[in-house]
Amino acid sequence: MPNPTLQVIVASTRPRRVGRSVADYIVERFAAHGGFEIEVVDLAEVNLPLLDEPHHPRLGRYEHEHTKAWSATISRGDAYLIVMPEYNHSFNAALKNALDYLNAEWRGKPVAVASYGGVSGGTRAASAITEVLVTLGMIVSNVAVAIPMVQSHLSDGRFVGYPQVDQAIEATHTALLTLTRGLTGA
């Protein structure tokens, strides 16, 4: 049986963002532990307009090609890791917009969060997005990654891990893989 597909969603779309670097580091660590086929889904590349579908997402009656493509992308995932910044003590608008576009595609699938930011490491944003994920019917892991003072862990634009974050990444991988296998039988 093939490994389940984990989609790593890079939430930040801001120019000069660090989110892609953080995601790349986490993907490298997850890949080393195995168990998932990993696909990176970068919201900056997806470039969804502000929700513009005339029908509620729960109906699945998508009219725009960008929504149909987004639905097809997310439908391929068996589980998700959202790599997200904290903006003003909460999650960013591009992430909320991407989540709101769909409904059934998210339901019943496991998700974990890797947040980053200043002193809090994005934990306020992770806490705020949890209610949204639960409302979408996702199975939210109780294990997460939080990276405080993320800017101090960059070298030449690349995120450089350290023991505490590596331990959190490993624990998140294990928890997410356990959830996914339990739900998919993979």
Domains of the chain: 5-184 (3.40.50.360)
Mean pLDDT of 62-80: 98
Structural contact between residues 62 and 71, judged by C-beta atoms closer than 8 angstroms: yes
Structural contact between residues 103 and 134, judged by C-beta atoms closer than 8 angstroms: no
**Which helix (H) or strand (E) covers residue 20, if one does?**
helix 19-33
Burial class (CB in 10 A: 0-12, 13-18, 19+), 175: middle
What's the whole-model pTM score? 0.97
Task: Check pLDDT > 70 for residue 186.
Answer: no
**Which helix (H) or strand (E) covers residue 42, if one does?**
strand 37-42
DSSP-derived secondary structure for 120-133: TTTHHHHHHHHHHH
Q: What is the pLDDT of residue 184?
A: 81
Going by pLDDT thresholds of 50, 70 and 90, the confidence category of residue 124 is: very high
Hey, what amino acid is at 117? G
Q: Where are the alpha helices (DSSP H) in 34-64?
A: 43-46
Structural contact between residues 140 and 180, judged by C-beta atoms closer than 8 angstroms: no
Task: Check pLDDT > 80 for residue 46.
Answer: yes
Mean pLDDT of 70-75: 98
Mean pLDDT of the chain: 97
Using one digit for the tens of pLDDT, what is the confidence trace for 83-115? 999 999 999 999 999 999 999 999 999 999 999
